[in-house]
Amino acid sequence: MTHVGPAPVTSATSAGASFVEWGAVLAGAFLAAAISFVLLTFGAAIGLSATSPWPNSGVSAKLIATLAVLWAMMQQIGAFMIGGYVAGRMRSRWHETTQHEVEFRDGLHGGLVWAVGIVIGAALAMAAAGAAAKTGIDVAGKAAATSVTALSTSDPMDAVLDTMLRPTTVAQAAGASAPAAAGAPAPAASRARSPASGSDETRSEMARVLASAVASGGLSEPNRTYLAQLVAQRSGLSQQEAERRVNEAFTAAREAADKARKAAILTGFVTAASLIISFGAAWWAALRGGQHRDNAVPARFAFGRNRRPDLAS
């Protein structure tokens, strides 16, 4: 008859021996990172399959963004739970005097799995060599941001400038490029508008002016007049209509900046909450792993509860 009992207790060989087993910690941390990457990639595929560019098809963008946030939190918590359990179960029990000390050291190994996993994730996010490991995260973010302008990777200022510099008629937009395409000299009116016809330099300058105005909290009259002149040359509007369009563009830029600020705040709070919960989950899972180690509870990776034949007696 084979007897299954508590795991043996190992005594420290010297007073200065370290009770932290980095082998178990690193094993749990790397396992958590691998599981997190797989789940993120899987979630990204599900998110992309649920979106559609066609009207009245696919899941709404708001629901996709909510599910993406929940999935990112749940997979992180679950991955650290598995890593913490592995670290707690693989840790060798030393000659701890009380059960409280055993539980603290098991839980601490789970906390170290969390810490090492966070460091690994931060290093991969900052290193160029970690671009492949970031694929799952990038795709998951893009899946949630497909139809959400606030989370889009494009610059919101580009849409503001496009609206502000839009010509009043299609003929005006094509008139400036038609002579150049035909090889004929441009008329005087077109040449007068060419410096401000939406070139990269002009757009960059206008974007800087608007960004500075949003940061300072107001658009000064000289800048308003200058932007209105550029808009009037580009679109053919009167000075008064151009100033109205500049005011609308400034309001749109301020709203875009406010949306970006709120999105950054929400992202920061969600990330911090997810990390705190993950720490508690890793600590708790390490405690469970230590309890299963001490009581020699067999690890089951299937739904069945049948024991091994050699342990059945």
pLDDT at residue 197, as a whole number: 43
Report the b/e string of 211-224 with b at 16+ CB within 10 A: eebbeeeebeeebb
pLDDT at residue 156, as a whole number: 65
pLDDT at residue 84, as a whole number: 94
pLDDT at residue 279, as a whole number: 95
Alpha helix positions (H), 20-60: 22-50
Reported pTM: 0.64
pLDDT at residue 4, as a whole number: 52
Max intra-chain CA distance, the chain: 103
pLDDT at residue 32, as a whole number: 92
d(CA 9, CA 11): 7
pLDDT at residue 7, as a whole number: 55
pLDDT at residue 5, as a whole number: 53
Q: Are 77 and 271 in contact (CB under 8 A)?
A: no
Please identify every stretch of the chain with a pLDDT value under 50, giving residue numbers as ranges. Answer: 1-3, 13-14, 128-137, 139-154, 171, 173-198, 302-304, 306, 308-313
pLDDT at residue 236, as a whole number: 80
Here the tokens at position 188 are 């005087």
For residue 134, the SS3 value is coil
